[in-house]
């Protein structure tokens, strides 16, 4: 299996159907990664793709795509929460499609030096930008610097871990002897606090690692900002597609699209059109999330938890402010 096959994008066919790029369209791939969606768009139509990625390692992969599709691909290093600023800097005012593939990429997880996984021992980092992210703390900084109460809050809020308090207490006790700086040691501490590793269950450190990664990279804040930026950038009839992998992400996307699609509950069931209600900025492609097919799940187990939500931009103006999508 070559590298491109190994990092095949999840639900590519469904995303291509949702975004439906046409000749002369401009599409933003908000999460370039290995470039799977980008290549799919470029091969599907004579369109132009602008791809965003905050990971410095993506730049070399972007060069290969640029060489394969001269003049039709442009790489924008940065965070998709800053999509509007990045797009404006590239001279874009409106686009016909935006796609998100959320969460951590397989190449980040597979590299033990990035510290995203406890499967192989490595430095406890987890920053998407890697060592270049000197302006915000690593997961080791959080694990060794935050109070027990704050650690419990992070692990509960971003990992939905029921044993968050017990785990936080164990982390604080362990770091008194020596700082926790390696993924294997943190996994050992968490497993000990959560009752040990059992072969019939997910590793007890899974949710704690997820929580730290999301917190360190402000992933949920970036998602909220990215969705609002897409709303402002998409032209009428422009298409939005978002693939998420856990309930925290999916809840934000679902609430954002239901609200912007006019499907969020009104103030009262007796007031179907509440005073001051804004006209919908999106029409949902479907009421619920689209799930991957059995064949894809059997071929790529990572796809099992994937959920796709898609919508089409209306001609109504974008909603002001930050909305209620994080509620």
Regarding whether 285 and 191 lie in a shared domain, the answer is no
CATH assignment of the domain containing 45: 3.40.50.150
What proportions of the chain, in percent to the nearest 5, are helix, strand and coil? 45, 15, 40
Domain boundary among 186, 216, 246: 216
pLDDT in tens, 162-220: 999 999 999 999 999 999 999 999 999 999 998 877 777 788 999 999 999 999 999 99
φ and ψ of 287, to 5 deg: -65, -35
Residue 89: inside a domain: yes
**For residues 105-128, average pLDDT:** 75
As a whole number, the mean pLDDT across the chain is 89
pLDDT for 327: 40
Number of folded domains that form the chain: 2
CATH assignment of the domain containing 176: 1.10.150.170
In this model, does residue 84 exceed pLDDT 50?
A: yes
Regarding whether 102 and 7 lie in a shared domain, the answer is yes
% of the chain exceeding 70 in pLDDT: 87
Long-range pairs, 159-168, Cβ under 8 A, ≥24? 159/207, 159/208, 159/209, 159/210, 159/211, 159/212, 159/214, 160/207, 160/247, 160/248, 161/207, 161/208, 161/211, 163/193, 163/194, 166/193, 166/194, 167/193, 167/194, 167/208
Taking the alpha carbons of 85, 92, 225, 57 in that order, is the dihedral positive or negative? Answer: negative
Regarding whether 133 and 101 lie in a shared domain, the answer is no
Regarding whether 289 and 263 lie in a shared domain, the answer is yes
Confidence of residue 280 (pLDDT cuts 50, 70, 90): very high
Domain housing 281: 3-106+219-313
E strands, 19-91, are 26-29, 48-53, 73-77
Residue 119: inside a domain: no
Regarding whether 224 and 171 lie in a shared domain, the answer is no
Between 287 and 181, the more confident residue is 181
**For residues 51-76, average pLDDT:** 94
pTM for this prediction = 0.90
Instruction: Give the helix/strand (H/E) hosting 207.
Output: helix 206-216
Residue 323: inside a domain: no
In this model, does residue 105 exceed pLDDT 90?
A: no
Domain boundary among 216, 236, 260: 216
Domain boundary among 216, 233, 250: 216
């Amino acid at each position: 299996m070559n590298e491109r096959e190994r990092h095949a994008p999840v639900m590519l066919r469904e995303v291509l159907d949702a975004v439906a790029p046409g000749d002369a369209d401009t599409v933003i791939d908000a999460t370039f990664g290995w470039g799977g969606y980008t290549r799919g768009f470029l091969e599907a139509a004579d369109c132009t793709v602008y791809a965003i990625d905050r990971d410095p390692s993506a730049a070399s992969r972007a060069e290969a795509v640029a060489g394969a599709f001269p003049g039709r691909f442009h790489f924008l290093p940065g965070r998709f929460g800053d999509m509007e600023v990045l797009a404006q800097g590239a001279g874009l005012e409106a686009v016909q499609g935006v796609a998100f593939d959320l969460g951590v990429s397989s190449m980040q997880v597979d590299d033990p030096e990035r510290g995203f996984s406890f499967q192989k021992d490595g430095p406890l980092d987890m920053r998407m930008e890697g060592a270049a992210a000197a302006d915000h703390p690593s997961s080791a900084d959080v694990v060794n610097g935050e109070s027990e109460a704050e650690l419990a809050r992070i692990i509960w809020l971003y990992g939905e871990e029921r044993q968050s308090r017990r785990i936080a207490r164990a982390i604080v006790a362990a770091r008194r002897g020596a700082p926790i700086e390696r993924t294997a040691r943190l996994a050992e501490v968490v497993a000990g606090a959560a009752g040990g590793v059992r072969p019939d269950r997910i590793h007890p450190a899974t949710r704690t690692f997820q929580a730290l990664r999301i917190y360190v990279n402000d992933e949920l804040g970036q998602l909220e900002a990215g969705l609002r930026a897409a709303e402002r950038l998409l032209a009428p009839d422009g298409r939005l597609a978002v693939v998420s992998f856990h309930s925290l992400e999916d809840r934000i996307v679902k609430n954002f699209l239901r609200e912007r699609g006019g499907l969020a509950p009104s103030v009262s069931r007796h007031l179907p059109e509440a005073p001051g209600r804004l006209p919908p900025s999106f029409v949902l492609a479907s009421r619920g999330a689209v799930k991957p097919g059995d064949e894809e799940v059997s071929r790529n187990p990572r796809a099992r938890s994937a959920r796709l939500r898609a919508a089409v931009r209306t001609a109504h103006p974008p909603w002001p402010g930050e909305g209620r999508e994080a509620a």
